[in-house]
Each structure stands twice: as structure tokens, then as C-alpha cells.
Amino acid sequence: SSIAMQNAQVRNNSEQLDGRDLRIAVVQARFNVHLTDRLAQSCLDELRRLSVAEDDIVLHTVPGALELPLALQSLAEGGEFDALIALGCVIRGSTYHFELVCNTSAAGIQQVTLDHGIPVANGVLTVEDEEQAIVRLDKGAECARVAVEMANLLIDIGSDEE
């Protein structure tokens, strides 16, 4: 059908990556802060590159990955934001109950998305060691793109339904 073709064409459409008029909150876990600071910088730089206004970007920090879902939930409930971004870094070698922390954090982040109908880009790195984390610090920028694209998609879907 022609609609399917139109949607296929939108996939690489730069309009979906236009951050103007979007409000986006970033929540950064401070555990392994020397890495999560770099993730956050990558994310914030990309948000600016996508034309999200400085005044429309809010950054909060929490102690660790397990605190991300509650902060995200609170932001989602406030209704001020078009998308949220979770950033963190869990390293197996330095984390007791690594799987539990990873799974609980990821499930909580996903729950916020579905409970509140708001895009939440999950930028929590779960890695074996610091070297793996360093290689994946561009995940911050990737999450910025996901957040902007998904926020625009939901706005488009909402306006289609009206």
C-alpha cells in the first residue's frame, strides 16, 4: 500500500530528527561517574546538534542505575517533557549482583515508557569492564537521536488521530 511506502520513506527522514520545540530530560546515574559524565556529554552535544534548545534540555543526576526509574517516573508524571533519556554504566567487575541491577533497572525504565506513553531512551551501558564501556560512550548520542525521533513519531501519531 502507499501508506506503507510513505512510512518506509520516513525512516531516514531528517524531519524525525528535528529537535526544535521538543523538551527532553536526561537522568544520569553517577555510579562510574567518570564514564557517565562522558555519556552525558555525548548525549547533550547531540541534542544540541539536533536543534533542541538549551532551555528545553534538563539534566538530573541520581546515585546509581537502580534510582533511574523513580526519577524518570517522576519526570514522566510531570508531563513537561516529550522524551526522557536514562544514562548509566554498570560494570560487572565492580557490581555485586550485576544481573539483578541490570535487569531491574532496564525493567523499571521500560515500565515508565509504557505506563506514561513517553519515549525513554535507555542509555545504561551494561559491560564486563571499563574498556567495553569506553568503546560504547557514543551510546549517549545514539540515545539523543532515539529520544528525538520517538518524540516526533508520537507527536505525528497523535496528530494523525485528531
Query: Which residues are known catalytic residues?
Result: 97
Contacts of 154 (CB under 8 A, 6+ apart): 82, 117, 118, 119
Q: Give the per-residue SS3 of 4-43.
A: HHHHHHHCCCHHHHCCCCCCEEEEEECCCHHHHHHHHHHH
d(CA 45, CA 24): 13
Q: Pairing mode, if any, of strands 57-62 and 24-29?
A: parallel
Grid cell, residue 162, equals 485528531
d(CA 138, CA 117): 26
Residue 155 region by backbone torsions, left for phi larger than 0, else alpha for psi between -120 and 50, else beta: alpha
- Residue at grid coordinates 551501558: 125
